[in-house]
Chains A and B, each alone.
Chain A
Amino acid sequence: MAIAVLALLGLLASLYLLLYKLGVVGTLACGGSGACERVQLSPYAWFLGVPVAAYGVAGFGALLVVALLGLGEKRVDRAWPSALLAVFAAVGVCFAAYLTYLEVAVIHDICRWCALCALLITAILVLAVLGSRSFSRAPAR
């Protein structure tokens, strides 16, 4: 349940950044520092020709779908949703770590919305790993 909520929050934050990148949202709410806009306008806000925020939307969207599927009555005692969430979240954490490195070491600005997404994906990974471990420790059914 917690993973689904975190994934939804991540999806909304990524969607906000994507809409800004597409020019639909005029100004980012970022405390007036301009840091979010500088990060979003940098060449690193694109990855393989696609806005980085779009990967966030897709990633958090996928996590949300898997988390909701895992909550279904038939799948709630299955291990695979937690394992799949852990794999997705691990990929997401690696990507977020790369982006955070770029913000700190290359762009020299921290975008609060990106930092929020990084925190959310890390929290999802922790919860998914804990969930997977609880299944592996449980007696075989």
Chain B
Amino acid sequence: MAVPRPMKLFYFGLGLIAVLGAFLIFGQSRLLQRSRSVTETLASAPQAPMGNVAATGHVLGSDSAPVEIVEFADFECPACARFAILEWPYVQERLIPTGRLRWRFMDFPLQGHTNSPAAHLAAGCAAEQGKFFEMMDLVYNRQNEWATEKRPERYMRDYARQVGLDLSAYDRCVETKHAQPGVDADYAEGEHLGVNETPTFFVNGREWPGLLVYDQIKAIVDSLAPEGGKRPAATRARRP
């Protein structure tokens, strides 16, 4: 049975709205970037003018690793937590120990995320005891627990205890905000580079357009530092 002309127009309009809406949503999701090859994407990305020496971030991996990925992230951001929970464990277990990849986490607490500064300060204090990445894992995994609480510091202290920090040193660090200058320096570096959302990644100084998943990170490392090349021993460093 034929559909009347006005109805055809209506269905066409409805379909148009659906396609346009889906395009806007998925365009923002940044996952569409997956379709391009790693080398193509990196080649088209501009070199970022990095260089604030005070902004060291938190580093995991060999100093001589040929690939460095810098991640600007916010502990209160769900996309950052998703990356930390779903992708980061593989990066940490499978790529960093090969000595081909060094990871640099940069603090970038977004404005409007009211509890994020407390989380970044707490993680900075954990870094002073060499346990930044352990604290980071816990903070991200428990994001739903502390993100909207009035006193996130209470949760952070509990996480500090759970990762085995010396609590008196941790308390002193939080009280005096000893780790705050490092957080501020990272944030300033992000602003300088034009970072305006999280997570934002830079691969060997080139901004990666969008989110990263483990497969892409592996492809990046494989393309820039093929297996079988020189493999420096994996080490870990932290903010001084």
Residues of A within 8 A of B (CB): 1, 4-5, 8-9, 12, 15-16, 19-27, 29, 32-35, 37-38, 40-43, 46, 71, 73, 107
Q: Decide yes or no: A38 and B144 within 8 Å by CB, A24-B29, A25-B79, A26-B30 being known contacts.
A: no
**7 A-B pairs with least C-beta separation:** A34-B112, A23-B82, A12-B21, A27-B197, A26-B79, A42-B148, A41-B147
Task: Tell me whether A1 and B112 are in contact (CB under 8 A).
Answer: no
Contacts of A15 in B (CB 8 A): 25
Interface digits, B157-201 against A, CB 8 Å rule (1 contact, 0 not)?
Answer: 000000000000000000000000000000000000000011100
Residues of B within 8 A of A (CB): 1, 7, 10, 13-14, 17-18, 21-22, 25, 28-31, 76-79, 81-83, 110-114, 143-144, 147-148, 197-199, 211
Q: Which of A24, A32, A38 contacts B148 (CB 8 A)?
A: A38
Q: Decide yes or no: A22 and B82 within 8 Å by CB, A12-B21, A41-B76 being known contacts.
A: yes
Q: Decide yes or no: A9 and B144 within 8 Å by CB, A1-B10, A32-B112, A37-B112 being known contacts.
A: no
The minimal Cβ–Cβ distance linking B147 to chain A, given in whole angstroms, is 4
Q: Which of B17, B78, B112, B197 contacts A8 (CB 8 A)?
A: B17
Contacts of B79 in A (CB 8 A): 20, 23-27
Contacts of B18 in A (CB 8 A): 8, 12
Q: Decide yes or no: A26 and B144 within 8 Å by CB, A21-B78, A34-B111, A37-B112 being known contacts.
A: no
Q: Decide yes or no: A27 and B198 within 8 Å by CB, A8-B14, A20-B78, A37-B113 being known contacts.
A: yes
**Dominant SS among interface residues on chain B:** helix
Task: Tell me whether B147 and A29 are in contact (CB under 8 A).
Answer: no
Contacts of B77 in A (CB 8 A): 26-27, 37
Q: Decide yes or no: A25 and B113 within 8 Å by CB, A12-B21, A43-B144 being known contacts.
A: no
CA distance A16 to B17 in the complex (A): 14
Contacts of A20 in B (CB 8 A): 78-79
The closest CB in chain A to the CB of B199 belongs to A26
Task: Tell me whether B112 and A33 are in contact (CB under 8 A).
Answer: yes
The closest CB in chain B to the CB of A23 belongs to B82
Task: Tell me whether A38 and B198 are in contact (CB under 8 A).
Answer: no
Task: Tell me whether B29 and A25 are in contact (CB under 8 A).
Answer: yes
Contacts of B78 in A (CB 8 A): 20-23, 40-41
Q: Which of A12, A27, A42, A46 contacts B22 (CB 8 A)?
A: A12
CA distance A56 to B115 in the complex (A): 27
The minimal Cβ–Cβ distance linking A77 to chain B, given in whole angstroms, is 14
Contacts of B83 in A (CB 8 A): 23
CA distance A22 to B85 in the complex (A): 12
Contacts of A1 in B (CB 8 A): 10
CA distance A12 to B18 in the complex (A): 8
Q: Decide yes or no: A73 and B1 within 8 Å by CB, A34-B110, A38-B148, A41-B147 being known contacts.
A: yes
Give the residue among A16, A21, A37, A40 with the most B Cβ atoms within 10 A. A37
CA distance A19 to B110 in the complex (A): 19
Contacts of A33 in B (CB 8 A): 112
The minimal Cβ–Cβ distance linking A16 to chain B, given in whole angstroms, is 5
